[in-house]
């Protein structure tokens, strides 16, 4: 049944590559050539289970993954779920539930996430992502700007061009370890599932991908990958709750 995931003879798995790691972001280590992260581990395990060759399609963000869903360049991917994305892709079971908050400088006056939601505040994120869409809704009055890529957003924050960086908590935790003089605001402005995604209108491929995610969660691959990449506290939905993320939230 897994052949439906490989219409070209290989499973082309789209991954988001940037300067941090999370449930969806991967990072190329210093001096390395290949990205590392949870989705890379899942892609490799998918190849082992199916016996099919897997090729990683490296893209700059989950926004680019969704934007290219109808371009025929990938067969399976992983992305945070929101209503806008359900118009473009079909989601299978979630393998992570997480929150989004802000990275600020250590001497910032902003303590809680909601403290940034006012006029005169500048927030940076990655354009087209579920996180930036939620930040724009939550931060009424603030100036919320989306950079084309995560490296650009991080560079703007480091240069002092914004008050805060809006990202998922796992990515923020990773950046916190590598950006001295920063901290994460308390609380969150967004909670979302991250799930396997298939270009819309391919029910057999969705069923196959959903079976793979359920198996990898049950066998411990998902939890083990989060631990290996320093995210042992990642929240993984229990198996009884693994209904399709296409269901109304």
Are 234 and 170 contacting, i.e. CB atoms less than 8 angstroms apart? yes
Residues 6+ apart with CB under 8 A from 48: none
Contact 102, 166 (CB under 8 A): yes
Question: Is-contact 212 196, C-beta < 8 A?
Answer: yes
Strand 182-184, strand 89-105: pairing: antiparallel
Burial of 51 (0-12, 13-18, 19+ CB in 10 A): exposed
| Distance (Å, whole) CA 149 – CA 63 | 9
Whether the Cβ atoms of residue 195 and residue 237 lie closer than 8 Å to each other: no
Q: What is the pLDDT along the chain (249 residues), one digit of tens a residue?
A: 899 999 999 999 999 999 999 999 999 998 989 999 999 999 999 999 999 999 999 999 999 999 999 999 999 999 999 999 999 999 999 999 999 999 999 999 999 999 999 999 999 999 999 999 999 999 989 999 999 999 999 999 999 999 999 999 999 999 999 999 999 999 999 999 999 999 999 999 999 999 999 999 999 999 999 999 999 999 999 754 444 444 433
Q: What is the spatial distance between Cα 174 and Cα 243, in angstroms, rounded to a whole number?
A: 29
As a whole number of angstroms, the distance between CA 20 and CA 170 comes to: 9
Task: Domains for the chain: give ranges and CATH numbers.
Answer: 2-96+194-241 (3.40.190.10), 98-190 (3.40.190.10)
User: Are the C-beta atoms of residues 129 and 63 closer than 8 Å to each other?
Assistant: yes
pTM: 0.87
Environment class of 42 (CB within 10 Å of its CB; exposed 0-12, middle 13-18, buried 19+): buried
**How buried is residue 238: exposed, middle or buried, by Cβ count under 10 Å (0-12/13-18/19+)?**
exposed
The pair of three-digit structure tokens given for residue 175, joined into one six-digit string: 């950046």
Question: Which of 35, 31, 40, 34 lies closest to 13, judged by CA?
Answer: 40
């Amino acid at each position: 049944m897994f052949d439906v995931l490989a219409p070209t003879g290989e499973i082309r798995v789209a991954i988001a590559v940037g300067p941090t790691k999370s449930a969806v972001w991967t990072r190329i280590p210093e001096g390395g050539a290949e990205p590392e992260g949870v989705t890379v581990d899942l892609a490799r395990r998918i190849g082992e289970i199916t016996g099919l060759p897997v090729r990683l399609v490296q893209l700059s963000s989950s926004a680019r993954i969704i934007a290219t869903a109808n371009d025929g360049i990938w067969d399976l991917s992983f992305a945070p779920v929101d209503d806008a994305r359900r118009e473009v892709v079909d989601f299978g079971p979630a393998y992570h539930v997480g929150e989004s908050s802000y990275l600020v400088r250590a001497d910032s006056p902003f303590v809680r996430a909601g403290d940034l939601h006012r006029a005169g505040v500048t927030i940076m994120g990655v354009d087209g992502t579920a996180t930036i869409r939620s930040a724009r809704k939550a931060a009424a009055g603030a100036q919320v700007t989306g950079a084309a890529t995560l490296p650009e957003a991080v560079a703007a924050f480091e240069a002092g061009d914004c008050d805060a960086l809006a990202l998922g908590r796992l990515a923020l935790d990773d950046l916190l370890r590598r950006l001295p003089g920063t901290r994460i605001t308390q609380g969150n402005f967004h909670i979302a599932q991250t799930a396997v995604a298939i270009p819309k209108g391919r029910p057999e491929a969705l069923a196959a991908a959903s079976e793979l995610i359920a198996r990898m969660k049950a066998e411990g691959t998902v939890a083990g990958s989060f631990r290996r990449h320093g995210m042992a506290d990642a929240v993984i939905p229990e198996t009884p709750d693994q209904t399709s993320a296409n269901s109304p939230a």
